[in-house]
Structure 1
Amino acid sequence: MRSFVTLVVVALLSAPPLTAQVAAAAPAQNTPPRTAAVEEAIVLSPFAINATTDTGYAATSTLGGTRLKSELRDVASQIDVMTSEFLEDIGALTLDEAVRYSMNIESNEENFSPGTDPNSNSIFGSGSGSRTRGLSRSNNTHDFFETNVPLDTYNTGRRFTLVSGSNAILFGAGFAGGTNDVAFDRPVLRKFSGNTTIRTDSNGSLRASVNLNQPLIRDLVGLRIAGLRADERDYREGVGSITDRLYTSLLIQPTKRISVRGWLEKYESKQRNAANTLVADRVSPWLATASRPFFNNAGLTPSSTAAQFNTAFNAQGADLAASAERFNNVTSAGTVVFNLDGSQPTAIRNWTNTVASRRPLDGTQDPSIVDPAIYPLDQNVIGNALQRRWRGSIHGLIFELNPWRDVFVEGGYNREIFDTRSLSFVSGNNTDLRVDLNRFQPDGVTPNSNVGRYFVEDDITGSMWRNRRTERRLQIAFAQDLGRRGGFWRWLGSHQGAVMYTGAENMRVQQNNNNARIISDNTFDGIVYPAGTNAANDSTRNTRRLRSRFYLDTPQNNSGRNQFQVQAPFNLWDAETRIIGKDSAGRDVVINSGMSNPYGAQVATSNGKKKEDSIQYGMQSSFLEGRLNLTVGERFSKASFAPWVGQGNTTGRLPRRYNALTGTYEEPVRRGTAIVFPSDGRAVGNAGFEPWDAMLSRGGEHDSLDAPTKYDVSSRLKSVVVHPLGRDGIPSLHYTESSSAFVADFTRKAPNGAEAQLDDGTTREYGFSVRFLENKLVLRVNAYESVYLGINGGAPTPPNPVAVGGNSGMDRTDIRWTSIHIEKSVQNYNLLKSGGRYETAATGTPVLGGTANGIDSGSPIRFFQDDVSTWISETAAGTAFSLKYVNAADRIAKGVEYRLIANPVRGWSISASLSQNNTRSSNISADWFGVIGLRLKSWLTAANDATTPQRAGGTGPTQLHINAATNANESLLDYVRSSALGWAFLRESEGAATRQEVEWRGNLTTSYRIQRGPLQGLRFGGSLRYRGDRILGYRNKTVNTSDLSADPILGTPGLFAPGSSISIANIDQPIMGGSNWNTDAVVGYSTTLFKKRIRWNLSLNVRNVLNDDTLIAQNGLSAASTPVVFQYPEPRVFLLTSGFDF
């Protein structure tokens, strides 16, 4: 990569300065100048298109309809082509930049904040990140091979094709949202050519690319090399990315009828991410009190009881009670604390029985701080504490043959490996700004030097994923124009079609939420490790991980350093194993943050391998001299999915675990109810899991997969385009139906153990278009209905349920978790009632003994129940179960799209789009409501028993398996009733809009290129983007529980107390976020140099010209009935781009 940077610098320095002799300027054009690539590029119809036929913003042909070259006027599907000139005018060099100006794609930056999960930025998850038509992300492809590597213009010809709707007769299966495609740059065989581009901006970013083509043997062998180095910076300090890419391609063309093209690309990106939303508020309740009190925690330690804490807390006044709450850290060993200068004011301690500042509202997300006097709105509190690293490699080839006239053969192969790794001290979802109110450190003796200072705190988390995809294809195509023969034959029309074979294998391995682990043996106040355990044999226990706390400056409490962001005291990627601090006994605490943990990973490898072999055909026919155009296609797939071992039920194989005695990973075996290592018979306990890289390196791909589940699925396309007055007449009418089946490259299980249906889709579109003056103005109106089936994680998130009997919180917002937690507690209840006993009095302790756990051998959800029964008590199940089980919903989108492309006079280009979309949820969490319906009566029987053996001895109400930190005395009945509020929200959400749905979305881009005179070559223009009012949430309504008697679940006797009422979402009263506008401008100059051998183009793009800083609403809470979470808009930024084509 360093040599590439040198190459870029040389190329740029060798470019002529502005004072160089300028050749007579050629007339400015609406299309790019012809390059060597255009002059002699081999185009074997119907597999390639010629971008030089694009005029201004208007494209004429595409492969996006059926993978066969077609004129856009004859394609019924909604296809937007972003031409080179359009991308130049909006200043977009990547697809991520370009989709901001798209008609129907919501980008990540508009709506979402990053976390350590790759899904949060749509790398793998179709239901996460960007959305097309409010449904799913569009899958990205190069040359119609699916890719996870971000699409960029440095090696793709400066042209993006965006296909909306499901269409799986394309090579590869398309998501319900659509497909975005680019074509890798081909080598050309006639002469040396290339281009260089350098861009800088007012944030300090610098991006340079070079693309060089060299014939090795003229007209026979050509080589293309392209490279990119980008140091992208954000307006917020510390945010940005450094990206390196290198691309090579070799073309061999022994004859005009044969060509073979191969490619190789390497990609690496190191990112420092920020939350898109403003800092969350956990300080305003304290600031609002008259006394702004501190908590005198003298004498309290992590070992103190809740009663001792309450006695001290309740005696210190109403202001403290209104602004603080008990902190009970039961999910980690302790917290490593950093001062502003990176020093540690205290040993790593557990902060249980200190206080944390309280949130101002009850809800799943804290409101944003919108007062800059509390925290600056344009700062990134995360700093460099959330980092991600993506690596990818692609290699492949395509051969094209034209053995006979009008017969074409294409074969292709592509292999891609994409890794993503994340490490976070503070994630994008946990940016709560808090104030330290404790007068003493957690030992209750040492004065707290940071009392009154602000801080952020979170678990130290990480994730590692790898996706390896191999695709191969072969198609035979033909083209026949019978109309040319005249006479009777002309009625038989023209036809092109293809029969295609595609084969794909996708292997995904992931160890999500693989938190940094303590690998040394230490002592932490209030933490007791079971006898006989140590870091080597007990590594998955929650109390083998850490939290981190960083103190910050704020305008009201500024040290003079103006350090408003987290500054991690070391580079997160320097080493995976490091000393992070000392425990209270003065011993070093050693952590490992990645895959090199000597004692294994925290979670088992999940996902698996998908295989698919498909036969498909596509046929396009044109009759009546082009007036009637028909397209049909079908795809027949035989597919299978094999999960990694350990994702099965209690009878399946188990994932390998680390045996501390032998120092190796072994596959455990079951001996009765015990799980042991086969080599020595020792219990596995909380031993670490085999990391996925270790598993793959020993050949685990061949021996660590369970038996595959097989599928036979089909996808279809049929469409018609009618030009009643001829192909050049107006109007044209279009109609299409399409579908995609078995799209997802991963799987989740339903509660019955079956692989869940994920990411399938259907689309129906119809409308008309008009074309005037030889395509100088094209207007297309398209109505659609798209259905997205089986969205993993697509169910709405309930607000944190309102208190029931004084209890709230405890992960009630995920119906999977509530079902799992209740089922586990009821299984414990049955064991206790059949002679079992709690192992210890600690929360989460397992039940030993007992003769019956209440699982019916014939239960249709036996798979799920057996899985719950093996839940290791000390390990949080939420993440592990959410990676295994689907929580799905369907989405139905209906809308109308208006698209105008015009070149009214030479040099003037216009692109305008307006879309109205309504996306609604349906079949929300249907599988889990099936679980609840089947088990609820048994759950309530257990929950209403007041004579159940207790952890501490005696009898009482049935207890939860694990209690929330803030609800240590909550009973199972309290939890069930509180969880039912979330269930009611989901039931009431049928037909609700998807989160942050924007109904109206509009874009206008225009530019004018001066054609003659002293200003010839100058261009100017701009863009206007409109995003309409969005639905952020819903207000609450109160419902008497007696009115729910007709509901088969919510009306179950005993679920709610007699005469009670509940507060649930009212989907008839949405919380709206308001609309927003954004204005951009561009000024540029283009000319030729050195006798037209070089074309120079200079562009100045200005985004957010008016520097509008109006906050953008992102989320609303029913408790507030107004938007409470906001995003700060990107301030005005200037981008200067200089490019040379030669």
Structure 2
Amino acid sequence: MSRPSLRLRTLCVTSALTLAAMHSAHAQSTPPASPPAPGDQKTDETVVLSPFVVTADEDVGYTANSTLAGTRVRTELKDVASAISVVTSQFLQDTGSKNQQDLLVYTTNTEVAGVRGNFSAAGGAATYNENSNLLRPANNTRVRGLDAADNTRDYFLTEIPWDGYIVDRVDLQRGPNSILFGVGSPAGIINTSINTATFKDANKIENRVGRYGSVRTSGDFNYVAIKNVLSLRAAFLDDDTKYQQKPAFNHDKRLFAAMRYEPKLFGDGAHTTIRANYENGNVNANRPRSLPPIDAITPWFQTGTTNGVANLNKLTLNPVTTWARYGENYNGTSAAYPWFREAFLGRMMSSNIAGFFDANSGGLFNQMPNYGTPLGRGSDGSIDTTIAGVPFARPWGIATFNNYARVAVPGGKYYSNVSLSDTSIFDFFNNLIDGNNKREWQDWDAANVAISQTFLNDRVGFEFVYDYQRYGDGQLSFLQGDQYALSVDINTHLIDGSANPNVGRPYVANSGQYGNAENYIDRDAKRLTAFADLNTEDYLGKTWLSKLLGRHVFTGLWSKDTKETDQRSFSRWASDPAFTTSLGLDNSIINGARQYDWIAYLGPSLLSKSTASGANLSRVNSVINPNGNVNVRYFDSHWNSNVAFDAPYTYTTYDANGNPVTNTSTQSENPANYAGWRSGSFKVLNYENPADRASLYSSAQYAKNVIESKAFIWQAYLLDGTLVPTFGWRRDEITNESRQGKKLANDVSSTDYSLSTPNLQDVAGESKSWGVVLHTPRGLRAKLPFGSNLSLFANKSDNFKADAPRGDIFGNQIDNPKAETKDYGVVLSTLDDRLTFKVTKYETKMKNATLQADSAGFSGNLYYAWALPYWGATHALAALDGIADPQLRQGNWGWPWNGIEGGDPVRIQAIVNDYFKNFPLTQGFADEYGLGLNVAAMRAATTNAQRYAAVPTYGVNGNGAAALGLQPAYGGRLKSFGSGPVASVDTTSKGLEFEITAQPTKNWSVAVNFSKTKATRDAISPTIDSWITTYTKFLAGDAGLIRLWGGDTLRKVWADNILAPYAVLQAQIGSQVPEVAPWRFNAVTNYNFREGVLKDVNAGLAYRWEDKRILGYKYNSTKDVLDIDQPLYGPTDDHFDLWVGYQRKLTKKVGWRVQLNLRNVGEKTHLVPVNIQPDGTVALSRIQEGLGWTITNTFSF
């Protein structure tokens, strides 16, 4: 047994025994009075708090009394009209909440993703990708069914994930509030108040152990150097969280320091405070996945037929001889066999290096997965990049269900990929399929300095704050998108014709090309706040007029926030350019020839099995990380013969029925005359090698966002405090600068942004906020029973978001997202404020928000904005290759495969002519995406030579078929914005929010919230409609008959991937946003026993319930649309949490507290549906973790 494991088990056992024996311990050494909870000791000195500070010391149980969120100075919550909820330190302690993922499952109308969360953040799209969720889990939230909230620390925007070791209080603002931020998320903010140094000596060490081997240790030390003048505070955290999915982990290490200095500079009535804090943090993680792998393995075992199409029935194929029979072809059919539609063995689609691995024993061999013939000769001896005797082929893969269904299932375009549900195939509950091959990281330095000064006993004052944040994060991706799939190798042979030793083995596969990123975000903020509290009683005395006019608090704000972002994407691995240069292949880092593909086999062959169930496949336990020189088997197309190029040669191919066909040609097409298959050593570049890193960046973007704000807030207390109106005005001026990294040799992106031309945008906007609270008049209140008070409130506020300019499909800037909220309701406070019941009716509207992942899959298909125009042009030229003069043919061995209407030369010419002549997009469009198109030349071309010249990236002397999938210069991003095109959407959320906080007795705390939400889409951006209308008209002509990759026509690709999901989105206008629970209920309570046999014990429970959600719609075959009048619902969801604790004094100065928390009591880890297919079957589910426990020991002294 390892020593750390021994220590962990000993601590667990000790804690459990202590809990069991606490009554005995209490009976033997009961102190004369109930000891205070750790950290609850009171000081005899009265400490005056700055109006700019709110601390947890003011809260009682689950009830908070004041906030800065209302007016930016301390204000009682009862006088704030906006929808603000405050989570207290007691609530965090009882529920064991240490971060965003722990907390938001309990709070009002909030959602958070992850294995311990309550929604998927996958949106039920046709395909799904967890990369962004894994990188920044604290951002995977949703409020009121609208959007993710902004995260702030002390009301400064941040990317830093908060942690409870320095946080005792969380304020949640639902909906926009321009008093806080004129520029921000329309969903609201989640603010954490960072602990300050206090004028009380207090120290705390806390250790928490949890299920699966989690260990968390933190310390918090406060020292008063000069009584009531100077205090210092330091804290540390080491949180190594483990998960049920082995070997997932999240290791969070932090250091924190703070000081508080209050010199007496200006005599009585003046209060000077200088506060400062600093935090350094580092998170190294391999986070668990909340979604199971895509299921591309069980279809292989299906027998019989489905919808008239033969199932796979464990089919195995030789890829060299069977392409014509089973592959996508040019004779008018989309695919001869839909289970192979757009399917690859991982990403083995190029002539590059591929590594073959065993998931447990490591590397097997490296081999080129496809032929590359860039140096092939023609019959005259010139290079034409073809060797006809080398048949077109690529390794077979099984399609994901979304691709299969599009051609094999009625309404198939509305079907999503299917996630694995059988844990006996692969146990995704207990295993992270990536093993140790992916990684996420975050690191930061953050500092904050605040200087405040008040006069006249805090009646006037100001505060200046400087906030500094240097944050970086990144990830090494392993499996993402359609490659996050579990499948089986059905290839009987490798591409070189040798037997495949791994046929029938289950696998996962990918490349190192996509999903890898590093980000650097620098924030610098300055904020000046000044206030004046005018009380008319000072001038009018205690008269009826002074009660009528009351108090008036005026607050002014100036701030300047600067955010600089450096975002870089990179290939995790790539061959050195020497590899591609020596073979005549493309050296570009953004194309396929230099990528390193990999496949990892997870178990033995399943050829003898009748089902995948019971396979019990392994995760990838070996580390796949090629670096330095590797030995590769590759095809060398250098000429290596003395035979005449034009001497006769015959070779065999296979037709669509699998029959051999004899072809007559010349020796230039004989692969035996070329160097052929050989082995050699080539260098593989690796991102984790710092010397290689600069050569692997595929894109880089820099953005600088400066927001200068001015604001004014007025709050009054009229009619003796009965009427409390609030008004806020704000103006924000935003300057945005963006730069794309300049392309260097081999399409590598430079990270020296001084080489690039900046794009500048200036935006300004004003926002306003009104609120009013009407309390029961004091005279009437005195007559109400139980010290009751009834208050009415109303609030209207708006804001806009401009921190990241966005471009539409055409590259035009989209107006900033705007939001407006209306909240009104009633608050009943009774039992002398020990019970508060609040009802809020709200309506929050967002305009021009970015359309996120949607159930129709539309937003995920916007890459077709550049892909169809660009690839349409290259495929048109590929079709010409088969009919043009020999010198223009460019050696496109794939031209028959990419042909049109059976390869008829007359029709091909007419169709290509139509594509070029009527091309509907502008040169500005092409330039914005970095497409190698000369639009004017395309339209003016009258000869094929001119058409080739109009697409210079395809080139007269290019690589033919290798140029079909040309990539845009900016990696799918818009040059002016540094991000891809987006569709904007208008959304409305309406509902009710019920909140109860109660302290029936001093030792009993209760918090209940209940919310009703209807979040609907109201409109899609008009520019999308214009784009769709324009391109639909274009593809309705002959141009739409060009075939993409020899399969579907451009017209069909457009109809399936753009028109169909867009029709669904249009139909969904007015319907519920996907995966939103219409009703949600949470209840939390804790009781502290103060006498009897259970004295000093606390016990509590929480109950969480969510109503069934709309997860899909039935298919209307008559209209070929989804019928939004027939929604498909998921199940209801509920959970119980329990905790019990005990505290006592160990010595006069040392207190001890222990608490056991149980979450999801009585549950096993299970699947929760996220997306339902039109036929009612479950497509995608999320993983909901079962019972979890933690034991926390706290020592205070």
TM-score (normalised: structure 2): 0.77
| Bigger fraction of residues in helix | 2
Deviations 1:1074-1126 (A, max 9, x none): 111111100011223422x33322110001111245531111222x3232222
Q: For 1:706, give the aligned amino acid.
A: P
CA contact (8 A) 1:600 1:658 kept: no
Q: For 1:48, give the aligned amino acid.
A: V
From 501, 505, 529, the counterpart of 1:475: 529
Task: Give how far 1:758 is off.
Answer: 4.4
From 352, 377, 381, the counterpart of 1:333: 352
**Percent of counterpart pairs with the same letter?**
22
Task: Give how far 1:517 is off.
Answer: 2.5
User: Aligned to 1:159, what secondary structure does the other structure show?
Assistant: strand
Q: Which residue of 2 aligns with 1:993?
A: 1072
Q: Which residue of 2 aligns with 1:969?
A: 1047
Q: Which residue of 2 aligns with 1:52?
A: 57
CA spacing shift, 1:106–1:568, aligned 2, 3 Å: farther
Q: For 2:1158, give the aligned amino acid.
A: V
In 2, the alpha carbon distance for the partners of 1:838 and 1:1068 equals 53
CA spacing shift, 1:200–1:1016, aligned 2, 3 Å: same
CA contact (8 A) 1:519 1:599 kept: no
* 1:265 partnered with 2:279: yes
Aligned length: 1007
In 2, the alpha carbon distance for the partners of 1:500 and 1:64 equals 14
Q: For 2:807, give the aligned amino acid.
A: K
From 475, 486, 495, the counterpart of 2:542: 486
1:907-986 correspondence runs (5 A):
907-943=1003-1039, 957-960=1041-1044, 963=1045, 968-979=1046-1057, 980-986=1059-1065
CA contact (8 A) 1:213 1:225 kept: yes
* 1:347 partnered with 2:366: yes
Q: For 1:175, give the aligned amino acid.
A: S
From 1131, 1135, 1160, the counterpart of 1:1104: 1160
User: Aligned to 2:365, what secondary structure does the other structure show?
Assistant: coil
CA contact (8 A) 1:455 1:549 kept: yes
CA spacing shift, 1:294–1:194, aligned 2, 3 Å: same
User: Aligned to 1:881, what secondary structure does the other structure show?
Assistant: coil
From 477, 480, 484, the counterpart of 1:427: 480
In 1, the alpha carbon distance for the partners of 2:848 and 2:891 equals 42
In 2, the alpha carbon distance for the partners of 1:307 and 1:1123 equals 34
Q: For 2:1188, give the aligned amino acid.
A: V
Task: Give how far 1:558 is off.
Answer: 11
* 1:68 partnered with 2:73: yes
Task: Give how far 1:368 is off.
Answer: 2.7
Task: Give how far 1:386 is off.
Answer: 2.6
Where in structure 1 are there 5+ consecutive unaligned residues? 1-7, 524-528, 646-654, 660-685, 800-811, 945-956, 1041-1062
* 1:732 partnered with 2:743: no
Aligned-residue RMSD, C-alpha: 4.0
1:544-943 correspondence runs (5 A):
544-553=594-603, 564-569=618-623, 578=628, 582-584=632-634, 585-593=679-687, 597=692, 600-606=695-701, 608-645=703-740, 655-659=741-745, 686-690=746-750, 692=751, 695=752, 700=753, 704=756, 706-726=758-778, 729-741=788-800, 743-794=801-852, 796-798=854-856, 814-825=860-871, 841=892, 869=933, 874-877=965-968, 880-881=972-973, 883-943=979-1039
CA spacing shift, 1:515–1:768, aligned 2, 3 Å: same
* 1:1020 partnered with 2:1099: yes
Task: Give how far 1:294 is off.
Answer: 5.1
1:160-309 correspondence runs (5 A):
160-170=170-180, 173-189=183-199, 191-255=200-264, 257-289=271-303, 295=315, 297-298=317-318, 300-301=319-320, 306-307=323-324
Q: Which residue of 1 aligns with 2:1189?
A: 1134
* 1:495 partnered with 2:495: no
In 1, the alpha carbon distance for the partners of 2:725 and 2:326 equals 76
CA spacing shift, 1:39–1:184, aligned 2, 3 Å: farther
Deviations 1:878-904 (A, max 9, x none): 952383322222221111011111122
1:73-222 correspondence runs (5 A):
73-109=78-114, 110-112=118-120, 119-120=132-133, 123=136, 129-156=140-167, 158-170=168-180, 173-189=183-199, 191-222=200-231
Task: Give how far 1:35 is off.
Answer: 5.3
Q: Which residue of 1 aligns with 2:664?
A: none
CA spacing shift, 1:106–1:287, aligned 2, 3 Å: same
In 1, the alpha carbon distance for the partners of 2:875 and 2:506 equals 44
In 1, the alpha carbon distance for the partners of 2:578 and 2:42 equals 66
Where in structure 2 are there 5+ consecutive unaligned residues? 1-7, 123-127, 265-269, 305-310, 371-392, 406-413, 635-678, 782-786, 900-908, 935-950, 954-962
Task: Give how far 1:815 is off.
Answer: 4.9
In 2, the alpha carbon distance for the partners of 1:164 and 1:35 equals 34
In 2, the alpha carbon distance for the partners of 1:612 and 1:822 equals 38
Task: Give how far 1:734 is off.
Answer: 0.7
Q: For 1:120, give the aligned amino acid.
A: N
Deviations 1:794-850 (A, max 9, x none): 262525xxxxxxxxxxxx874522332333356669999999967552779999999
In 1, the alpha carbon distance for the partners of 2:891 and 2:155 equals 58
In 2, the alpha carbon distance for the partners of 1:322 and 1:561 equals 22
In 2, the alpha carbon distance for the partners of 1:389 and 1:122 equals 7
Task: Give how far 1:941 is off.
Answer: 3.0
CA spacing shift, 1:368–1:343, aligned 2, 3 Å: same
Deviations 1:603-647 (A, max 9, x none): 3323511111111011111111111110110110111111114xx
Task: Give how far 1:39 is off.
Answer: 5.4
Deviates more, 1:783-792 or 1:439-448: 439-448
From 10, 24, 29, the counterpart of 2:31: 24
CA spacing shift, 1:930–1:121, aligned 2, 3 Å: farther
CA spacing shift, 1:833–1:343, aligned 2, 3 Å: closer
CA contact (8 A) 1:116 1:423 kept: no
Task: Give how far 1:240 is off.
Answer: 1.6
Q: Which residue of 2 aligns with 1:953?
A: none
Deviations 1:539-579 (A, max 9, x none): 22222213322222499899999762122416x7xxx9545
1:378-397 correspondence runs (5 A):
378-379=429-430, 380-397=432-449
Q: For 2:90, give the aligned amino acid.
A: E
CA spacing shift, 1:559–1:826, aligned 2, 3 Å: closer
In 2, the alpha carbon distance for the partners of 1:437 and 1:973 equals 32
Task: Give how far 1:241 is off.
Answer: 0.8
1:382-421 correspondence runs (5 A):
382-405=434-457, 406-421=459-474
Deviations 1:395-417 (A, max 9, x none): 22111111444111100111212
Task: Give how far 1:532 is off.
Answer: 5.9
User: Aligned to 2:151, what secondary structure does the other structure show?
Assistant: strand
Task: Give how far 1:98 is off.
Answer: 0.9
Q: For 2:1061, give the aligned amino acid.
A: G
CA spacing shift, 1:581–1:1138, aligned 2, 3 Å: farther
In 2, the alpha carbon distance for the partners of 1:559 and 1:1033 equals 28
Deviations 1:209-235 (A, max 9, x none): 111122344444332111111110111
Larger C-alpha radius of gyration, 1 or 2?
A: 2
Q: Which residue of 2 aligns with 1:1050?
A: none
Q: For 1:501, give the aligned amino acid.
A: W
Deviates more, 1:883-892 or 1:241-250: 883-892
Q: Which residue of 2 aligns with 1:1124?
A: 1179
Q: For 1:738, give the aligned amino acid.
A: S
Q: Which residue of 1 aligns with 2:40?
A: 33
Q: For 1:55, give the aligned amino acid.
A: V
CA spacing shift, 1:1104–1:829, aligned 2, 3 Å: closer
In 2, the alpha carbon distance for the partners of 1:843 and 1:263 equals 64
CA contact (8 A) 2:550 2:716 kept: yes
Task: Give how far 1:203 is off.
Answer: 1.3
Task: Give how far 1:851 is off.
Answer: 13
Q: Which residue of 2 aligns with 1:543?
A: 593
Task: Give how far 1:774 is off.
Answer: 1.3
Task: Give how far 1:104 is off.
Answer: 1.2
CA spacing shift, 1:970–1:730, aligned 2, 3 Å: same
